[in-house]
Structure 1
């Protein structure tokens, strides 16, 4: 089985832009047989630096899942009211405009590859509610607008990020999973989109929210119960003050073990946690399944970065095979 890889998180271009270095990285990515395609970051245009560079260097066989979270976080840094769930109309309209740009980027990539290469786009229920009000009603209104557009075959999915709760400071602080599921269930029932709306659970972000190792399992169960579970992306999290930071959404790799030489010893994402998560998804045809990891130290060379990716993908491949 092959997976979506959030390769941008492991890129050697930690700061700045070196197209030759990134080209070498992409060439190595093409050698990873277990990669179906990329979780591709959307920041306002098809590629953050150079659309033509991107089109020239991707593997034409790859599929793509767009993620809007990098662009959403950039927008929130300058416009705290930005978001599809914003109760501030200017902030909500800015998010709608951003999604229109994403729609155009999907069309551009499909046209270049002469096929429907983008299978889904993961969107997010910003704003950060500790800075600005967000509501399920506003999110529903935005989603109704998005459903009226032609998405060129891409399925609209909501990636749940940590919600605003009372016990600790959030990383994202978006809508609760309960609110997101409620909106999506209602829209699936009333608008009956050709491609049903669904939810993607990011393992690390759910554990970050709940502060419990089984937090992702709780969220998977809730989404599955409503028929809305559409994907799982694996990223780790930890309470330890390592280079990745304590309780930071920094995409830690899974924990090292006898079979995983390249990982993060303090990560709460273990191989057993991956196995338990996959078991919890039994019976669901996931549209998105993959992993996204960052690499520390930031100065890591290309060889080390690829060793991490191979080790982590191998772990996921092993557990998928055992789960069948």
Structure 2
């Protein structure tokens, strides 16, 4: 079994761009036998810094899942009305324009590799509801527009981010899971099998929202019951104040244990919690399955980063059961 890796979160280039350093990092990623491909961040162009560098350094056998959350968060910093679920028409159209750029980038990558290399695009239901109004109707309208485009074989899936809840300050604060599931259900009732939309659960973002260690499991079961579960990405979170911060979407590695070395002592994402989620669904059949971890300190060398990545992938290997 192989997995997607949000490798950008563990990159040694967190505060700038050093192409030589990133090349060395990618050379090590290519040696990972469990790596299916990358969860690739989209910020408005194929690669944030250099499309040509990216195309020259990827493994031609990798598959890809685009994630739009980095670009969406950048856009929200300038325009809080931005988002596919925005009731503000200007903000919604700006988000659709951004998605058209993502669609073009998918086409560029597929054309370079001469195959359908992009499995899916993960969209998120901005804006933040504590800063701007959003609605199911706006999201439905946006998705209907996006379904008219040629996505070069990539499936459109919603990655659930933490929804706005009044009890605590949000990280993302987007639409509630049930609102997203309702929209997917309505659309899928009219779509052919090749265009069916799905839901991806991000472990850390669901736990951030619920403040419960089983929050991701609850969300996963709800998406599965709605018939739209398409993916599961493991990314940790914690209530402890460390270099990762307390209750921050900083992609903490799994909790350290006798089996998980190296690991993060305060992370709520234990191997047991990951195993429970994997057991609750038929993981081998998911369109998207993998992990995204950040590394602290930011000055950590590549060997240190790869050790954490290997330990995380090993958890998946131990707990994903054959079909």
TM range (shorter): over 0.9
**For the aligned residues, what is the CA RMSD?**
1.1
Match of residue 157 from structure 1: 157
Give yes or no for the alignment of 1:137 onto 2:148. no
**TM-score normalised by the chain length of structure 2:** 0.98
Where do 5+ consecutive residues of structure 2 fail to align?
none
Alpha-carbon distance in 2 for matches of 1:143, 1:115:
25
Give yes or no for the alignment of 1:260 onto 2:260. yes
Alpha-carbon distance in 1 for matches of 2:140, 2:192:
14
How far off its partner does 1:192 sit? 3.5
Match of residue 241 from structure 1: 241
Residue pair 1:147, 1:193 contacting (<8 A) in 2 also: no
How far off its partner does 1:166 sit? 1.6
Alpha-carbon distance in 1 for matches of 2:248, 2:196:
32
Residue pair 2:283, 2:289 contacting (<8 A) in 1 also: no
Classify the secondary structure of the residue corresponding to 1:184.
helix
Match of residue 84 from structure 2: 84
Where do 5+ consecutive residues of structure 1 fail to align?
none
Are the structure 2 counterparts of residues 4 and 283 from structure 1 closer, same or farther at C-alpha, using a change threshold of 3 Å? closer
Match of residue 28 from structure 1: 28
How far off its partner does 1:280 sit? 0.8
Classify the secondary structure of the residue corresponding to 2:108.
helix
Alpha-carbon distance in 2 for matches of 1:246, 1:192:
43
Give yes or no for the alignment of 1:296 onto 2:287. no
Aligned residues: 323
Classify the secondary structure of the residue corresponding to 1:109.
helix
Match of residue 63 from structure 1: 63
Match of residue 75 from structure 2: 75
Match of residue 11 from structure 1: 11
Are the structure 2 counterparts of residues 283 and 208 from structure 1 closer, same or farther at C-alpha, using a change threshold of 3 Å? closer
Match of residue 195 from structure 2: 195
**TM-score normalised by the chain length of structure 1:** 0.98
Match of residue 173 from structure 1: 173
Q: Note the alpha carbon deviations across 1:71-126, whole angstroms, 9 max, x for none.
A: 00000000110000000000000000000000000000000000000000000000
Are the structure 2 counterparts of residues 21 and 265 from structure 1 closer, same or farther at C-alpha, using a change threshold of 3 Å? same
Residue pair 1:229, 1:284 contacting (<8 A) in 2 also: no
Q: For structure 1, which segment, 282-291 or 46-55, has the greater mean C-alpha deviation from structure 2 after superposition?
A: 282-291
Give yes or no for the alignment of 1:219 onto 2:216. no
Match of residue 276 from structure 1: 276
Alpha-carbon distance in 2 for matches of 1:237, 1:109:
32
Alpha-carbon distance in 1 for matches of 2:193, 2:140:
14
Q: For structure 1, which segment, 189-198 or 55-64, has the greater mean C-alpha deviation from structure 2 after superposition?
A: 189-198
Match of residue 117 from structure 1: 117
Are the structure 2 counterparts of residues 185 and 266 from structure 1 closer, same or farther at C-alpha, using a change threshold of 3 Å? same
Alpha-carbon distance in 1 for matches of 2:118, 2:125:
21
Classify the secondary structure of the residue corresponding to 2:4.
strand
